[in-house]
Structure 1
């Protein structure tokens, strides 16, 4: 006779399998969303939940909507801006020239006083 447990293949506390023990599943609504790459996504929602107009495509990450003929376009990606580009947005060329001349004059004054400038 082989030794072993009488409940081999199940874990302690496990009950019988099936819908009868767990109850019926909540009613669900499957909605199709379409992205500009042609992917279709069908997330499940509760039957009484409000369905969102847009959904992110899990395959490509682009936005998707309910209209298969007219999916939303991919978002426009702005190029990386440098610190100088942000400064140029805030300041005019005249203001930049004024600030530069003030900074240069301050350095010249320090040098004239004999301060060490690195």
Structure 2
């Protein structure tokens, strides 16, 4: 025996908006990324809603702006540096060898001080 409501979903019916209430007024804003993709999110039109200047492109992940001819540039990610990399920036190889030699001498007990 087949169900009488087969193929239907909750809320589907002839009532439409009257059943669910009126939708709030919306504004669709276009954003373009550096690859030329257009994103069109919609925002509620209210005094408290702030429409952002940039939006992330869902196709490529680049930031998208409202000016089609001047999209924002991609964010430059600086690669992670280890502690050793930072130390090597501050010290020369000669300084490093001297510090190492002083530390080894102290560990061996050769330190005269």
| TM-score (norm: length of structure 2) | 0.73
Q: CA deviation at 1:107?
A: 4.3
Instruction: Give unmatched runs, 5+ long, in structure 2.
Output: none
Q: Secondary structure at the match of 2:109?
A: helix
Q: Secondary structure at the match of 1:55?
A: strand
Root mean square deviation of aligned Cα: 2.5
Counterpart mapping for 1:89-104 below 5 A: 89=89, 91-93=90-92, 96-104=96-104
Task: Give the alignment partner of residue 24 of structure 1, picking from 19, 22, 25.
Answer: 22
Q: Secondary structure at the match of 1:81?
A: coil
Partner of 2:40 in structure 1? 42
Closer/same/farther in 2, CA of residues 57 and 100 from structure 1, 3 Å limit: same
Instruction: Give unmatched runs, 5+ long, in structure 1.
Output: 111-118
Q: CA deviation at 1:26?
A: 1.0
Q: CA deviation at 1:77?
A: 3.0
Q: CA deviation at 1:86?
A: 1.7
Name the CA distance, whole Å, in 1 between partners of 2:51 and 2:26: 12
Q: CA deviation at 1:95?
A: 5.2
| TM-score (norm: length of structure 1) | 0.71
> Which structure's CA Rg is the greater one?
1
Q: Secondary structure at the match of 1:86?
A: helix
